[in-house]
Amino acid sequence: MKYAEFIDSVSDSRLDVCRAVFVANREKIKVKKEKTILKNLEKIFDATLKIGIEKGFQAMTMRDLSSEAGLSMGALYSYFSSKEEILRASLSEGRKIVWQILDEFIEREKEPVAKFEIALEVHLFLTEKMHKWFYFSYMEAKNLNPEERKKAVQNELYTEELIEGILIDGQKRGVFRETNHKLAASVIKAMLQDWYLKRGKYSKRNITVDEYAQFIIGFIHPFYLRPKGIV
Protein backbone atom coordinates (compact mmCIF):
# COMPACT_ATOMS: atom_id res chain seq x y z
CA MET A 1 0.00 0.00 0.00
CA LYS A 2 1.14 3.52 -0.80
CA TYR A 3 0.74 6.55 1.46
CA ALA A 4 -1.68 8.21 -0.97
CA GLU A 5 -3.92 5.12 -0.86
CA PHE A 6 -3.83 5.17 2.92
CA ILE A 7 -4.84 8.83 3.06
CA ASP A 8 -7.76 8.17 0.73
CA SER A 9 -8.97 5.28 2.91
CA VAL A 10 -9.01 6.96 6.33
CA SER A 11 -10.95 9.88 7.71
CA ASP A 12 -9.50 13.21 8.86
CA SER A 13 -7.65 12.27 12.07
CA ARG A 14 -7.64 15.88 13.34
CA LEU A 15 -11.41 16.08 13.08
CA ASP A 16 -11.71 12.60 14.63
CA VAL A 17 -9.68 13.73 17.67
CA CYS A 18 -11.80 16.87 18.04
CA ARG A 19 -15.04 14.91 17.76
CA ALA A 20 -13.83 12.34 20.30
CA VAL A 21 -12.84 15.08 22.76
CA PHE A 22 -16.23 16.73 22.27
CA VAL A 23 -18.08 13.48 23.01
CA ALA A 24 -15.91 12.74 26.06
CA ASN A 25 -16.31 16.27 27.46
CA ARG A 26 -19.81 17.16 26.31
CA GLU A 27 -20.96 18.09 29.84
CA LYS A 28 -17.95 20.34 30.53
CA ILE A 29 -17.83 22.35 27.30
CA LYS A 30 -19.90 25.51 27.70
CA VAL A 31 -20.73 25.95 24.02
CA LYS A 32 -23.89 24.67 22.35
CA LYS A 33 -23.24 24.45 18.60
CA GLU A 34 -21.34 21.27 17.66
CA LYS A 35 -19.98 22.80 14.44
CA THR A 36 -18.50 25.72 16.40
CA ILE A 37 -17.11 23.36 19.06
CA LEU A 38 -15.30 21.18 16.54
CA LYS A 39 -13.90 24.20 14.69
CA ASN A 40 -12.56 25.76 17.89
CA LEU A 41 -11.22 22.49 19.28
CA GLU A 42 -9.23 22.10 16.09
CA LYS A 43 -7.83 25.62 16.54
CA ILE A 44 -6.92 24.89 20.16
CA PHE A 45 -5.17 21.60 19.41
CA ASP A 46 -3.32 23.02 16.40
CA ALA A 47 -2.12 25.91 18.57
CA THR A 48 -1.07 23.52 21.35
CA LEU A 49 1.03 21.42 18.98
CA LYS A 50 2.58 24.45 17.27
CA ILE A 51 3.56 26.26 20.46
CA GLY A 52 4.50 23.06 22.27
CA ILE A 53 6.92 22.04 19.54
CA GLU A 54 8.37 25.54 19.17
CA LYS A 55 8.87 26.53 22.83
CA GLY A 56 7.89 23.49 24.92
CA PHE A 57 4.77 22.65 26.89
CA GLN A 58 6.12 23.90 30.21
CA ALA A 59 6.79 27.37 28.81
CA MET A 60 3.41 27.57 27.10
CA THR A 61 0.62 29.58 28.75
CA MET A 62 -3.12 29.72 28.25
CA ARG A 63 -2.63 33.27 27.00
CA ASP A 64 -0.21 31.95 24.35
CA LEU A 65 -2.85 29.45 23.29
CA SER A 66 -5.55 32.11 23.23
CA SER A 67 -3.46 34.31 20.95
CA GLU A 68 -2.32 31.51 18.60
CA ALA A 69 -5.80 29.95 18.32
CA GLY A 70 -7.46 33.34 17.74
CA LEU A 71 -9.84 32.85 20.66
CA SER A 72 -10.47 35.09 23.62
CA MET A 73 -9.38 33.89 27.05
CA GLY A 74 -13.03 33.50 28.00
CA ALA A 75 -13.72 31.38 24.92
CA LEU A 76 -10.68 29.21 25.60
CA TYR A 77 -11.72 28.60 29.21
CA SER A 78 -15.18 27.60 28.06
CA TYR A 79 -13.53 24.50 26.59
CA PHE A 80 -10.66 23.73 28.99
CA SER A 81 -9.74 24.89 32.48
CA SER A 82 -5.97 24.44 32.01
CA LYS A 83 -3.28 23.56 29.49
CA GLU A 84 -2.81 20.24 31.33
CA GLU A 85 -6.43 19.37 30.57
CA ILE A 86 -5.84 20.15 26.89
CA LEU A 87 -2.74 17.93 26.88
CA ARG A 88 -4.57 15.01 28.48
CA ALA A 89 -7.52 15.27 26.11
CA SER A 90 -5.36 15.53 22.97
CA LEU A 91 -3.08 12.63 23.86
CA SER A 92 -5.78 10.34 25.21
CA GLU A 93 -8.17 10.62 22.26
CA GLY A 94 -5.31 10.63 19.75
CA ARG A 95 -4.03 7.32 21.14
CA LYS A 96 -7.46 5.72 20.80
CA ILE A 97 -7.70 6.75 17.14
CA VAL A 98 -4.20 5.44 16.36
CA TRP A 99 -5.01 2.08 17.99
CA GLN A 100 -8.34 1.84 16.17
CA ILE A 101 -6.85 2.49 12.73
CA LEU A 102 -3.94 0.09 13.30
CA ASP A 103 -6.30 -2.67 14.47
CA GLU A 104 -8.69 -2.17 11.56
CA PHE A 105 -5.98 -2.53 8.91
CA ILE A 106 -4.27 -5.49 10.57
CA GLU A 107 -7.52 -7.40 11.05
CA ARG A 108 -8.16 -7.27 7.30
CA GLU A 109 -5.10 -9.43 6.65
CA LYS A 110 -5.04 -13.20 7.21
CA GLU A 111 -1.39 -14.17 6.65
CA PRO A 112 1.45 -13.33 9.08
CA VAL A 113 3.67 -11.65 6.46
CA ALA A 114 0.80 -9.46 5.24
CA LYS A 115 -0.11 -8.55 8.83
CA PHE A 116 3.51 -7.70 9.60
CA GLU A 117 3.91 -5.50 6.53
CA ILE A 118 0.63 -3.65 6.99
CA ALA A 119 1.41 -3.02 10.68
CA LEU A 120 4.70 -1.32 9.77
CA GLU A 121 3.22 0.60 6.83
CA VAL A 122 0.17 1.88 8.69
CA HIS A 123 2.22 2.90 11.71
CA LEU A 124 4.59 4.89 9.49
CA PHE A 125 1.73 6.39 7.49
CA LEU A 126 -0.03 7.44 10.70
CA THR A 127 3.12 9.13 11.97
CA GLU A 128 3.38 10.95 8.65
CA LYS A 129 -0.26 12.03 8.69
CA MET A 130 -0.19 12.97 12.39
CA HIS A 131 3.47 13.95 12.57
CA LYS A 132 3.09 16.90 14.96
CA TRP A 133 0.88 14.88 17.30
CA PHE A 134 3.33 11.94 17.43
CA TYR A 135 6.36 14.17 17.93
CA PHE A 136 4.63 16.27 20.57
CA SER A 137 3.32 13.16 22.36
CA TYR A 138 6.79 11.62 22.56
CA MET A 139 8.55 14.78 23.69
CA GLU A 140 5.95 15.91 26.22
CA ALA A 141 5.18 12.59 27.93
CA LYS A 142 7.50 13.67 30.75
CA ASN A 143 5.16 16.56 31.60
CA LEU A 144 2.17 14.33 32.25
CA ASN A 145 1.01 13.43 35.74
CA PRO A 146 1.94 9.87 36.90
CA GLU A 147 -1.36 8.35 35.78
CA GLU A 148 -1.23 9.89 32.30
CA ARG A 149 2.49 9.13 31.97
CA LYS A 150 1.66 5.48 32.67
CA LYS A 151 -0.87 5.57 29.83
CA ALA A 152 1.77 7.07 27.52
CA VAL A 153 4.13 4.19 28.35
CA GLN A 154 1.31 1.73 27.70
CA ASN A 155 0.81 3.35 24.31
CA GLU A 156 4.51 2.86 23.58
CA LEU A 157 4.27 -0.80 24.53
CA TYR A 158 1.03 -1.32 22.59
CA THR A 159 2.73 -1.15 19.20
CA GLU A 160 5.59 -3.38 20.39
CA GLU A 161 3.14 -5.96 21.72
CA LEU A 162 1.20 -5.79 18.47
CA ILE A 163 4.34 -6.53 16.42
CA GLU A 164 5.50 -9.18 18.89
CA GLY A 165 2.15 -10.96 18.61
CA ILE A 166 2.35 -11.04 14.82
CA LEU A 167 5.90 -12.45 14.94
CA ILE A 168 4.96 -15.12 17.47
CA ASP A 169 1.95 -16.17 15.39
CA GLY A 170 4.13 -16.25 12.27
CA GLN A 171 6.68 -18.48 14.01
CA LYS A 172 3.94 -20.90 15.13
CA ARG A 173 2.71 -21.07 11.54
CA GLY A 174 6.20 -21.79 10.22
CA VAL A 175 6.65 -18.45 8.45
CA PHE A 176 9.01 -16.56 10.80
CA ARG A 177 12.21 -17.68 12.47
CA GLU A 178 12.37 -18.46 16.15
CA THR A 179 14.02 -15.55 17.95
CA ASN A 180 13.54 -13.12 20.84
CA HIS A 181 10.36 -11.55 19.50
CA LYS A 182 9.99 -9.11 22.39
CA LEU A 183 13.44 -7.66 21.76
CA ALA A 184 12.83 -7.70 18.01
CA ALA A 185 9.59 -5.74 18.40
CA SER A 186 11.40 -3.18 20.54
CA VAL A 187 14.10 -2.66 17.89
CA ILE A 188 11.51 -2.42 15.10
CA LYS A 189 9.57 0.17 17.11
CA ALA A 190 12.75 2.26 17.38
CA MET A 191 13.16 2.11 13.60
CA LEU A 192 9.58 3.31 13.16
CA GLN A 193 10.08 6.14 15.64
CA ASP A 194 13.16 7.33 13.81
CA TRP A 195 10.91 8.49 10.97
CA TYR A 196 9.01 11.08 13.00
CA LEU A 197 11.65 11.96 15.60
CA LYS A 198 14.39 12.65 13.03
CA ARG A 199 12.24 13.62 10.10
CA GLY A 200 14.53 16.46 9.03
CA LYS A 201 17.32 13.98 8.34
CA TYR A 202 15.18 12.07 5.84
CA SER A 203 13.71 15.22 4.35
CA LYS A 204 17.20 16.49 3.47
CA ARG A 205 17.88 13.18 1.73
CA ASN A 206 14.57 13.41 -0.19
CA ILE A 207 13.34 10.14 1.31
CA THR A 208 9.56 9.73 1.18
CA VAL A 209 7.51 7.78 3.70
CA ASP A 210 6.76 5.18 0.99
CA GLU A 211 10.49 4.67 0.37
CA TYR A 212 11.22 4.44 4.08
CA ALA A 213 8.41 1.91 4.62
CA GLN A 214 9.63 -0.33 1.80
CA PHE A 215 13.23 -0.08 2.96
CA ILE A 216 12.33 -1.07 6.53
CA ILE A 217 10.24 -4.02 5.35
CA GLY A 218 12.95 -5.16 2.91
CA PHE A 219 15.62 -4.74 5.58
CA ILE A 220 13.72 -6.84 8.13
CA HIS A 221 12.43 -9.62 5.85
CA PRO A 222 15.70 -11.56 5.41
CA PHE A 223 16.13 -11.79 9.17
CA TYR A 224 12.62 -12.90 10.10
CA LEU A 225 11.41 -14.95 7.16
CA ARG A 226 12.14 -18.64 7.53
CA PRO A 227 14.07 -19.89 4.46
CA LYS A 228 11.99 -22.15 2.24
CA GLY A 229 12.53 -25.83 2.82
CA ILE A 230 13.52 -25.38 6.48
CA VAL A 231 11.04 -26.69 9.03
Q: How confident is residue 228, by pLDDT bands cut at 50, 70 and 90? A: low
Total count of domains within the chain: 1
**What mean pLDDT do residues 185-210 have?**
93
Read off the DSSP letter of residue 71: -
Is 98 a member of any domain?
yes
Is 163 a member of any domain?
yes
Distance of alpha carbon 58 from alpha carbon 48, whole angstroms = 11
Is 23 a member of any domain?
yes
**Range of the structural domain that residue 132 is part of:** 3-224
Is 37 a member of any domain?
yes
Looking up residue 181, the CATH number of its domain turns out to be: 1.10.357.10
- pLDDT for residue 229: 46
- pLDDT for residue 230: 47
Q: How confident is residue 157, by pLDDT bands cut at 50, 70 and 90? A: confident
Q: How confident is residue 227, by pLDDT bands cut at 50, 70 and 90? A: low
Distance of alpha carbon 83 from alpha carbon 43, whole angstroms = 14
46 CB neighbour count, 10 Å cutoff: 15
Is 229 a member of any domain?
no
- pLDDT for residue 231: 45
Q: At residue 116, does pLDDT exceed 90?
A: yes
**What mean pLDDT do residues 213-227 have?**
86
**Which residues lie closer than 8 Å to 218 by C-beta, 6 or more apart?**
none
Per-residue pLDDT of 16-30, as tens digits, reads 788 878 887 777 777
Is 120 a member of any domain?
yes
**What mean pLDDT do residues 187-192 have?**
93
Per-residue pLDDT of 72-110, as tens digits, reads 999 999 889 898 888 888 888 888 888 889 999 999 999
SS (H, E, C) 154-186: HHHHHHHHHHHHHHHHHHHCCCECCCCHHHHHH
Is 230 a member of any domain?
no
